[in-house]
Amino acid sequence: MEKRAVNDMFVIMSDIWLDNEETMGKLETVLDGYENVEVVPSLFVFMGNFCTHPCNLSFNSFSSLRLQFGKLGQMIGAHPRLKEQSRFLLIPGPDDPGPSTALPRCALPKYLTEEFQKHVPNAIFSSNPCRVKFCTQEIVFFRQDLLYRMRRSCLMRPSTEETNDTFEHLVATITHQSHLCPLPLSVQPVIWNYDHCLHLYPAPHTIVLGDKSQQKAFNYTGITCFNPGSFSNDSTFVAYRPCTREVELSAL
């Protein structure tokens, strides 16, 4: 089935700060570029955080954030080929609005996304983590600053016999644990009735770990894993071709 979808491509970004003019300018540059290619991407995945400031109890700019989502919708609407032929998937980040910080995180509140959906009616607002089925493949998207938190909770340094790359150690850990977030509940609370959403058994074909750390890609035991990096900080993103499971690490 994948052979029939050789032109399909996913564009994946993490950390899209809607309240940052520089970030929005960079995003428009990316959209302009893909608007003019022969075959537009079939899916854009935008992962949070969507605001420069954590949306915690002290955050009081929800109306402003709602307007910024509306501006994002207008920006996408100004690219007719992308609006008509591409799908847009938005996944909340760890500091985005929500009822709690426990995993899994529910989708962005409807109050924030109503203006956006007026311009992009076929947009999908998903939970975090999120699973996408592409033909026979399962792709898992997870937005969490996992590398930093795992390193903080690490009691012993990982062995450097095989590799000293921390991202590769992270991928090996979550793969062996068959769990996206193998941290103590005191560090990362989990809604126990939905813990199965974090399971990685049976193993998916691709795992996308949205993290603010450096952009990386790693193939481990047949699983394609990559981190698109922070778009707002480093201007990095990933173009992923699910047909061949090819990861193109990209940057402006």
Instruction: Give the CATH number of the domain where residue 55 resides.
Output: 3.60.21.50
Mean pLDDT of 80-92: 97
Tokens of 252: 């402006």
Per residue in 164-222, pLDDT (tens digit) is 999 999 999 999 999 999 999 999 999 999 999 999 999 999 999 999 999 999 999 99
> For the chain, what percent of residues have pLDDT higher than 90?
88
Domain count along the chain: 1
How far is it, in rounded angstroms, from Cα 114 to Cα 110?
6
Residue span of the structural domain in which 207 resides? 2-251
Tell me phi and psi for residue 83, to 5 degrees. Answer: -60, -40
Residue in 135, 139, 153, 141 with CA at minimum distance from that of residue 2? 135
pLDDT for 155 equals: 84
Residue 2 clears pLDDT 70, i.e. is over it: no
pTM of the full predicted structure? 0.96
Residue 5 clears pLDDT 80, i.e. is over it: no
Question: End-to-end CA distance of the chain, in Å?
Answer: 33
Tell me the pLDDT band of 6, cut-offs 50, 70 and 90. Answer: confident
Per residue in 138-170, pLDDT (tens digit) is 999 999 999 999 999 988 888 888 899 999 999
If DSSP states are collapsed to H, E and C, what string results for 4-32? Answer: HHCCCCEEEEECCCCCCHHHHHHHHHHHH
Per residue in 54-84, pLDDT (tens digit) is 998 778 889 999 999 999 999 999 999 999 9
Residue 27 clears pLDDT 70, i.e. is over it: yes
**Alpha-carbon torsion (181, 182, 187, 189), positive or negative:** positive
Partners of 142 in the beta sheet? 209
